[in-house]
Amino acid sequence: MEKWRRKFQQFMVGRYGADQLSRFLSVCIVVLLVINLFARTHVLYWLAVVLLFYSYYRMFSRNISARFKENERYMGFRFRVTEWGKKWRFRAEQARKYHIYRCPSCGQKIRIPRGHGKVSIHCPKCHTDFIRKS
């Protein structure tokens, strides 16, 4: 067993190997195959096979700079998606705790805690006072 392991390690020298994009592709392959168990469509099966070949192509590739650029593009896309999700999660959390009002004169957003009844709100930007229910 150790002999095969050394041979595989020697084979992988100079090759790209696994990265975050490869792991994502592997998860997609498993999800597609599980869905295919219930849906019984050949499209999902062949899509999973194509993704599998692409994943192995990336892992065994010797063009490390191209694979690194692909992974960087994926990581940038993943970052944008996760930040978008965090922003919406934060907004939902804030909406549960606070009312957010706009000043009628300047449009400045002002955050007021919920549950205090009618309150007089003082805009910090234009110093306008207005009354709202919190």
**Lowest-confidence pick of 20-29, 73-82, 92-101:** 92-101
User: How buried is residue 16: exposed, middle or buried, by Cβ count under 10 Å (0-12/13-18/19+)?
Assistant: buried
Q: What is the mean pLDDT of the chain?
A: 91
Count of structural domains within the chain: 1
133 occurs within a structural domain: no
Is the whole-model pTM more than 0.95?
Answer: no
Q: Rounded distance, CA 24 to CA 55, Å?
A: 10
Q: Residue 57's domain spans which residues?
A: 2-97
Average pLDDT over residues 63-73: 94
124 occurs within a structural domain: no
User: How buried is residue 22: exposed, middle or buried, by Cβ count under 10 Å (0-12/13-18/19+)?
Assistant: buried
* pLDDT tens readout for residues 14-60: 888 889 999 999 999 999 999 999 988 889 999 999 999 999 999 99
32 occurs within a structural domain: yes
75 occurs within a structural domain: yes
pLDDT at 11 over 90: no
129 occurs within a structural domain: no
